[in-house]
Structure 1
Amino acid sequence: MKRGWAVELFNGVILRESDLDWKKVPKNQIARLSLFYDGRVWNLSGKEAYFVKYRASMVPGIQESFRIERRTIGFYEGAKKICYHVDESTGKFNLEVIDNSG
């Protein structure tokens, strides 16, 4: 896999972004969530609440112009949201911790 996410379930089954929409992934069965970008891999495991997000753009009315600008995987830990971002055009990685405790 060149770019995208993959999930390994507790039963060993691998689900990939190209095969399944994130909304259909059984979140309570995730053993590992991985983000791939041109040979680099970020793995998350041992967490309970994972998420996948994208930032994308498109010229209105032109479906072919759709492009992903940033891919994000992460997890929630208490009131904190831990995000692993990769910029799609530069490959730059950024770790962000958002504290929602108030």
Structure 2
Amino acid sequence: MSPFARQESAGVVLQLWVQPRASKNELVEVRDGALKVRLTSPPVEGAANDLCREYIAKLLGVPRGDVQLVAGERSRHKRLLISGCAVDEVRKRIETMIK
């Protein structure tokens, strides 16, 4: 099983390491058990968290409401819960997008 994604009863939990204020939104790599994500938004007033949820939802083709921040509101290390997906599906989509 991939270290950055695991199946739970409520859905799939993604371990992320977020780099705000990047030049573009992109998935970079899996490092230390987390998916590194670069986001253009600054880490001010939850803007990076909102963009993180929107970006992951768009990449996975799920509604934004199905992506919840469950840990790391004020940290670069975040955990997102994706409802209505299987871990194999999430892992496959993300691994094809990593540069």
Q: TM-score range by the shorter chain?
A: under 0.3
TM-score (norm 1): 0.26
TM-score (norm 2): 0.26
Structure with bigger gyration radius: 1
Q: Answer 1 or 2: which has greater strand percent.
A: 1
Q: Answer 1 or 2: which has greater helix percent.
A: 2
Higher relative contact order (CA 8 A, sep 6+): 2
